[in-house]
């Protein structure tokens, strides 16, 4: 009979229907457990994918922030270089103005010296002419007298 118990489902006359029900029930339970395990794995996978996506988003955000910081640094460098350039231009301009004023002053002094030399010459010429005229007048007056 032990041999028969093992193969009960084979013999339809000895209650094989009960065994079929048990097998079907076990099959459903196994199927349900497999479905649960699959759902659990899917849920875990979704959680992992969500976590991965969040990490990727964080990395992308950090890269964006880094690019922003790099851009600010480049801007600060450019601004500093620009300010240096402006400072150099202002200094060069001040030096040019100072040289220009010095040159203008020198030229004016030279012009004034030339003008004064011309006036001295003219005054000297006028003095000589006056002395000559005076000498002529005195000579004429002396002849009369």
Q: Over the stretch 17-69, which tens digit does the pLDDT of each residue have?
A: 788 888 899 899 999 999 999 999 999 998 999 999 999 999 999 999 999 99
Query: Is the full-model pTM beyond 0.75?
Result: no
How far are the Cα atoms of 72, 102, 127 from residue 109, in angstroms, in the given order? 54, 10, 26
Residue 145: per-residue pLDDT: 60
Would you say residue 143 has pLDDT above 60?
yes
Q: Over the stretch 132-141, which tens digit does the pLDDT of each residue have?
A: 999 999 888 8
Percent of the chain beyond pLDDT 90? 66
Contacts of 81 (CB under 8 A, 6+ apart): none
The answer to whether the CB of 9 falls within 8 A of the CB of 20 is yes
The answer to whether the CB of 11 falls within 8 A of the CB of 4 is yes
């Amino acid at each position: 009979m032990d041999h028969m118990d093992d193969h009960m489902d084979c013999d339809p006359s000895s209650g094989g229907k009960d065994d079929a029900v048990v097998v079907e029930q076990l099959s459903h339970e196994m199927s349900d457990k497999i479905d649960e395990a699959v759902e659990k794995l899917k849920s875990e996978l979704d959680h992992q994918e969500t976590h991965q996506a969040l990490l990727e988003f964080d990395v992308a955000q950090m890269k964006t922030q880094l690019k922003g910081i790099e851009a600010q640094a480049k801007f600060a460098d450019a601004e500093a270089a620009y300010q240096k350039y402006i400072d150099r231009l202002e200094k060069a301009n001040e030096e040019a103005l100072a040289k220009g004023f010095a040159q203008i002053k020198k030229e004016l002094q030279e012009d004034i010296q030339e003008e004064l030399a011309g006036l001295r010459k003219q005054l000297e010429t006028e003095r000589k002419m006056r002395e000559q005229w005076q000498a002529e007048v005195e000579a004429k007056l002396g002849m009369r007298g």
